[in-house]
Amino acid sequence: MLSKSDLVKRLSEKTNSTQKEAEMHLNAFLEVVRDALHAGEEVKIVGFGAFSVQDTAAREGVNPRTREKIQIPAGKRVKFSAGKELQDAVEPAAPVDAKSAGKGGKK
């Protein structure tokens, strides 16, 4: 797991800056994203991904301790969708098999 302090250290190394400067920039970035999401804006970073807020509907749930049915109120949650470059870095696309790369129709 990469903690915030680990991230600050790596950022300072990548940018040849002090850890204090790197932490200041990381905190500013996080604050800008948080403020934008709070205002209902979507944050898109091309190649990396997009942060957005989604409304969740009220629903019935179960208390895991008592097995009692409970009402979970409607709310909001943050969604992150990875961009193509980030997704490819995590899981490169499989090579296309020449036989299955046809037009998809049956013969």
Domain of 84, CATH number, reads 4.10.520.10
Query: Which domain does 30 fall in, by range?
Result: 1-41
pLDDT of 99: 60
DSSP single-letter state for residue 94: P
For every residue of 44-89, DSSP letters joined together read EETTTEEEEEEEE--EEEE-TTT--EEEEPPEEEEEEEE-HHHHHH
Q: What is the pLDDT of residues 5-28, one digit of tens each?
A: 999 999 999 999 999 999 999 999
User: Could you read off the pLDDT of 65-101 as tens digits, one per residue?
Assistant: 999 999 999 999 999 999 999 999 999 877 776 565 5
pTM score above 0.85: no
DSSP SS3 for 30: helix
Task: Check: CB of residue 39 under 8 Å from CB of residue 32.
Answer: no
Q: Residue 32: inside a domain, yes or no?
A: yes
pLDDT at position 93 is 74
Q: pLDDT grade, residue 107 (50/70/90)?
A: very low
> Is the distance from CB of 57 to CB of 71 less than 8 angstroms?
no
